[in-house]
């Protein structure tokens, strides 16, 4: 964490960088009789030396006036957040582009039975800041005077790497329970410790998260998973009991170990797989991938329901299939898009496929089937399968890694020879109908699947051979 003097130096440097933008805005609001403050995450990031191009402001002006003033500043404005006091704008300055949001001083609260905040506008900066989630986000800078406003010691907490709430945590979390999940996200994103009184309040008030809408919970969970180090935040949600309400399948992985310790800790294993998948994601040149990270975290959620003791062994037969169904139920409850749900469930269902072929005994047909079943999720399946090795046995880990490298090499070789990425039958549906003289219907689909299975087992063939195979198959059906 930066020292106080370093943080202050960072802020001066960052504010000078955007002075042309904020000075103009500040004068517009001053001429209208109002003050404008850079606030929240923008000030925090400036102090950390990483202010981006999204600038957040707060003001004493009401939304209608803010919109009017912004239209004098830039032609690109929007008021989709007007009901919540927020007006947005896009400002281009040479090659630079700034996204700006200005919000009227707020004094929102949640009613005990409500899933949405009651929007109320405040009349003081300090009143606005105390309603914010954490002290490190409750600092402001007067745009004109550059006066630093820090009534709740956010700069000290930023320097010490601690997350505290400006008001008593019970008050803060009662006003907006989603802040409890936000604590987990910021703990992971910033690498900060959460103050003991904040953890205690989260534990005592965990059930209050149930009044928050599924969409807002989903957004916070996704934001947490997309940080570089989500483990700390996820563990905080589990320790405080919040995960029991938003993602109960995660704490359920903390299976009680049997006296002989015949299986590894599934919860710790899942967090490790997530960490390893993030490392591989980066190593293979990918941007943060929500689907892959959800699959890594949830790949074993079918284990608690499938655990059986068979003599000296513990088994989890079909936990991949059971887990895929559980993933669909949970992600639907969190209102994730269908495309995300489908992809995550598919990865969970396939995550054991590699181990079903023993010690690298992969025929060409098995390789084709692996690629066909993975479809568009093949690269994610590579990452998940590789990450799902947390054994401390070095020989076993090396053997598994080499076997999977062999599989990826085989896939690459077959792909070059057979266009494996687009595995299809040698005849399409239109050709099948023309050859057999049949209209669209169930029989066309059956013929297509027959040819696809032949292609998977035996590789590609030329058109004449494909037609002969189709006609033989059709003839045998007619005879039957």
Burial class of 41 by CB neighbour count within 10 A (0 to 12, 13 to 18, 19+): middle
Question: Domains in the chain, ordered, with CATH?
Answer: 1-157 (3.30.460.10), 161-246 (1.10.110.30), 273-422 (no CATH), 429-479 (no CATH)
- Predicted confidence (pLDDT) at residue 99 exceeds the cutoff of 80: yes
Token readout for 98 is 């700034």
CA distances in angstroms from 21 to 16, 25, 27, 93, 99, listed in the order given: 10, 7, 11, 8, 11
Q: Which residues pair with 88 in a beta bridge?
A: 78, 101
Listed range (85-94, 159-168, 267-276, 424-433) with the worst mean pLDDT: 424-433
Q: In this predicted model, which residue has the larger pLDDT, 94 or 162?
A: 162
Using CA atoms, how far apart are residues 109 and 120, in angstroms rounded to an integer?
A: 8
Whose CA is closest to 404, among 420, 389, 423, 393? 389
- pLDDT exceeds cutoff 90 at 365: no
pLDDT the model gives residue 39:
94
Report the C-alpha gap between 453 and 305 in whole angstroms: 33
CA distance 74 to 30: 17
Q: Please say if the pLDDT value at position 308 is more than 70.
A: yes
What DSSP line would sit under 291-306, residue for residue? HHHHHHHHTTTTHHHH
Please determine, for residue 334, whether its predicted confidence score (pLDDT) is greater than 50.
Answer: yes
pLDDT at position 253 is 92
Residue with the bigger pLDDT between 410 and 112: it is 410
**Alpha-carbon gap, residue 120 to 84, rounded angstroms:** 8
Three-class SS of residue 37? strand
Q: Does residue 15 carry a pLDDT above 80?
A: no
Confidence of residue 260 (pLDDT cuts 50, 70, 90): very low
Write out pLDDT tens, residues 395-429.
Answer: 787 887 888 888 888 777 776 655 555 567 777 77
Calpha distance 266→304 (Å, rounded): 9
Helices (H), 176-259: 178-190, 196-204, 214-225, 231-240, 243-246
State the pLDDT at residue 465: 83
Q: Phi and psi dihedrals of 96, rounded to 5?
A: -85, 150
Q: Give the pLDDT confidence score for residue 258 in this predicted structure.
A: 46
Q: How confident is the model at residue 220 (pLDDT cuts 50, 70, 90)?
A: very high
The mean of the pLDDT values for the chain is 87
CA 291 – CA 376 distance, rounded (Å)? 12
CB 35 within 8 A of CB 126: no
Residues 49-69 have a mean pLDDT of 91
Rg for the chain (alpha carbons), in Å? 28
- Specify the pLDDT at position 138: 96
pLDDT of 62 above 80: yes
Cα 8 from Cα 147, distance rounded (Å):
12
72-91 pLDDT, tens digit per residue, is: 999 999 988 888 899 999 98
The beta strand positions in 278-359, using DSSP E, are 308-310, 313-315
């Amino acid at each position: 964490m930066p020292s106080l003097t370093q943080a202050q130096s960072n802020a001066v440097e960052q504010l000078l960088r955007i002075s042309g933008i904020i000075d103009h805005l500040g004068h517009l609001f001053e001429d209208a009789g109002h003050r404008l403050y850079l606030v929240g995450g923008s000030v925090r990031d400036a102090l950390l030396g990483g202010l981006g191009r999204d600038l957040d402001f707060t003001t004493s002006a009401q939304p209608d006036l803010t919109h009017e003033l912004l239209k004098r500043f830039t032609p690109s404005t929007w008021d989709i957040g007007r009901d919540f006091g927020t007006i947005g704008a896009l400002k281009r300055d040479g090659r630079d582009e700034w996204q700006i949001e200005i919000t009227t001083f707020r004094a929102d609260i949640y009613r005990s039975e409500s899933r949405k905040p009651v929007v109320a506008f405040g009349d003081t900066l300090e009143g606005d800041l105390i309603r914010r989630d954490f002290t490190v986000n409750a600092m402001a800078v007067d745009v004109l005077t550059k006066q630093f406003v820090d009534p709740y010691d956010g700069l000290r907490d930023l320097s010490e790497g601690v997350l505290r709430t400006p008001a008593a945590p019970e008050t803060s979390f009662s006003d907006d329970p989603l802040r409890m999940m936000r604590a987990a996200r910021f703990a992971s994103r910033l690498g900060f410790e959460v103050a003991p009184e904040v953890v205690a309040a989260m534990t005592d008030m965990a059930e209050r998260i149930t009044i928050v809408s599924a969409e807002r919970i989903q957004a916070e969970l996704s934001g947490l998973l997309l940080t570089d180090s989500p483990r700390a935040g996820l563990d905080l949600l589990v320790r405080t009991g919040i995960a029991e309400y938003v993602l109960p399948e995660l704490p359920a992985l903390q299976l009680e170990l049997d006296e002989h310790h015949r299986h590894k800790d599934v919860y710790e294993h899942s967090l490790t797989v997530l960490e390893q998948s993030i490392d591989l994601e980066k190593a293979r040149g990918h941007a943060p991938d929500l689907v892959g990270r959800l699959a890594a975290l949830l790949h074993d959620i079918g284990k608690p329901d499938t655990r059986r003791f068979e003599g000296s062994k513990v088994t989890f037969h079909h936990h991949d299939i059971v887990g895929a169904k559980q993933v669909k139920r949970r992600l639907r409850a969190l209102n994730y898009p269908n495309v995300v749900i489908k992809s995550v469930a598919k990865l969970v269902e396939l995550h054991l496929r590699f181990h079903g072929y023993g010690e690298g005994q992969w025929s060409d047909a098995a390789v084709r089937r692996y690629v066909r079943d993975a479809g568009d999720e093949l690269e994610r399946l590579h990452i998940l399968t590789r990450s799902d090795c947390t054994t401390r046995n070095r020989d076993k880990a090396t053997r598994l890694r080499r076997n999977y490298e062999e599989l990826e090499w085989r896939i690459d070789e077959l792909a070059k020879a057979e266009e494996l990425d687009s595995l299809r039958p040698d005849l399409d549906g239109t050709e099948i109908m023309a050859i057999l003289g049949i209209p669209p219907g169930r029989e066309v689909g059956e013929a297509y699947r027959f040819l696809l299975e032949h292609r998977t087992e035996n590789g590609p063939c030329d058109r004449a051979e494909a037609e002969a195979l189709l006609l033989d198959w059709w003839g045998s059906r007619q005879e039957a």
